[in-house]
Chains A and B, each alone.
Chain A
Amino acid sequence: MTSAEAVPPAPILELVALHKNFGPLKVLDGIDLAVRPRELVFVIGPSGSGKSTLLRCCNRLEEPDSGAVIVDGADIMRPGTDLNAVRQKIGMVFQSFNLYPHMTALGNVTLALRKVQGLARDAAEARGRAALAQVGLADKENSYPNALSGGQQQRVGIARALALGPKIVLFDEPTSALDPELVGSVLAVMRELKAAGMTMVVVSHELAFARAAADRVVFMEGGRIVEQGSPEAIFGNPREARTRAFVSRLSQGHG
């Protein structure tokens, strides 16, 4: 055994003692979480437990009150950090897609490539087309969002995140706004991403997906991580009563 194998790989994303308040409300109350390369961390928790805020603090879309956010080895809370450069490493996928309605699928996917990464149109479009192909929408590059189904829109959203060449992609309830029959196509793309070795943090209620694809499940409540472990452990045999109650409610409610 070589020493390189003995040392665990450095996390892509590490949150240390992260705190965030909205007024008197402690939305994040000391979060410690490390996401290793190629890992898929699945986050569950009741509404208002701070899951979205957690994701939004990872690229400082939301400003944490204290704590460290370490991305690819660098603490991005340090003053002088070039946030727009950091954000190239962190893809983000939203519940409501947030596609730009006045741009085609390809326009959506290439905007940041051209304006932030400074690629020429040809180079950006080549990368954009590859990203659209990766989510199975090569033939939709000239479609505007309103001409796409919800599932297709969300896959464009994923392609937009992937085109930047991120080290990690954050998903905030990517299938919650979709009609049930469209959920599968998005989850399939996410499973392929996982298989291709992408590092992912996924907030979702899709337990079947978690069982199949997650390396680790994190249960949050009240701005804290209550319990985490393998999908089998969290869904099958949780230590905490709160986790058990939530998981059983979730499996009854959402399938």
Chain B
Amino acid sequence: MASLLSRPSVFSLAANDEPKMPRDNESWVADLRAERESALSDLRDALLRNLRKALATWPHADESLLEDAVQDSLMRVLERIEQFEGRSRFLTWATSIAIHTAMAELRRRRWKDVSLEKVVSDGDFAPVQLTTSGQTMDGKLVQQALVATMQRLIEQDLTEKQRTALKAELKGMPQDEIARHLGSNRNAVYKLTHDARKKLKAGLEAAGFTAGDVTAPL
């Protein structure tokens, strides 16, 4: 597979916007397993077309980034082809992998020079006033108590790692970047923040707040 992928002739064919011979899922899988150059070429063209559409509104998603993402995605699709269960169209599945790959690279470029410490300690985030108009005085007090309890639980109930990961995520830092700073991986970061959310939920319930208090708009 790798030798085929590295052959420039496979990928130097001009993109063709005309519909090609439709391939069903079985044909895609069979042709790619057999390393048919036409299938690789068709998949490459289709993924590039779909990525252009998917990321049309994303700044910095230039043609060279998209082409690199397609190249990486072809490798990933081929590596995972045995995991394709046929529950969607093959091209939808392959496109989901390509979008994941391209967006990960966009996020990496955006955040690569940002330190975790700076993100977590950054106080320059413009605070939004609590919108309490229309609430009763009781409602306002409940909301204030809820926020105070949440702040306390974050400091007292979470581990340092959970607190750092959760704060960084709330500041918009991508999970892959948090993982890189913590010497971890995205799945582990998800578990870290999921465990943190579970602790906070349990803490709020133990403090007497109901689901209605938590979901009421601030």
Q: Are A and B part of the same complex?
A: no
Using CB atoms and an 8 Å cutoff, list the residues of chain B in contact with chain A: none
